[in-house]
Amino acid sequence: MLAIVDYGMGNLHSVGKAVERLGAEAVVTADRETIRRASGVILPGVGAFADAMKELTASGLDEAVKEFAAGGKPLVGICLGMQLLFSRGEEHGNEAGLGLLPGSVVRFQGGYKVPHMGWNRLSFRRESPLTEGVEEGYVYFVHSYHALPERQEDLIAVTDYHQPVTAIVGRGNIYGMQFHPEKSGETGLKLLANFIRLCE
């Protein structure tokens, strides 16, 4: 069973439906024990980094997610959920993140449209169990801030939006996708299916 963490800021329904469509059992939960027992955890998110960290911390779910990650079972962050995996985010202040991956989350800077919204193609930087059998297809992004990993080996895939933009990250059992795989057609569903397989 997969646990989808409910801290009040996630796109929970569509993520849950996508997981079920792929034949896996998922529960939307804010219960620490349910999260601890899960075979895999999905940390979704829509909104601002600082607000999300406040919600996670107030509920104790920040520690629940960190404890789960330390146990070695697969964890994936989606959109804002991926950003929260990093050390810090500058959205609405300079807020500490979960610190599971070293790096920062910064606002897009330049004379182009922000937020970055729409379909962009993935470009793989290294092999990963998450991308096995997946082509460098198009996926759906909606974000005004992007992650800058400190360690290039944590970078699995980028996309291009006036610069290389972090799209997929991973280290050990911890993964993140900046885009919405549940809204990204066949490519997104294949990525989710690979994550589910890692949890089995």
Nearest to 29 by CA among 57, 64, 70, 81: 64
Residues that are catalytic: 79, 180, 182
User: Environment class of residue 56 by beta-carbon count within 10 Å: exposed (0-12), middle (13-18) or buried (19+)?
Assistant: buried
**Cα–Cα distance between 111 and 145 in angstroms, integer?**
15
Percent of the chain with pLDDT over 90: 93
pLDDT at residue 109 greater than cutoff 80: yes
Domain ranges of the chain: 2-199
Of the options 3.30.410.10, 3.30.465.10, 3.40.50.620, 3.40.50.880, the CATH number for the domain spanning 2-199: 3.40.50.880
Q: What is the mean pLDDT of the chain?
A: 96
| pLDDT tens-place string over residues 116-129 | 999 999 999 999 99
| pLDDT tens-place string over residues 36-72 | 999 999 999 888 999 999 999 999 999 999 999 999 9
Q: What is the mean pLDDT of residues 110-138?
A: 97
pLDDT at residue 11 greater than cutoff 90: no
Q: What is the mean pLDDT of residues 64-92?
A: 97
Q: Helices (H), strands (E): how many in the chain?
A: 6, 14
pLDDT of residue 145: 97
For residues 10 and 13, the model is more confident at: 13
What does pTM read for this prediction? 0.96
pLDDT at residue 13 greater than cutoff 90: no
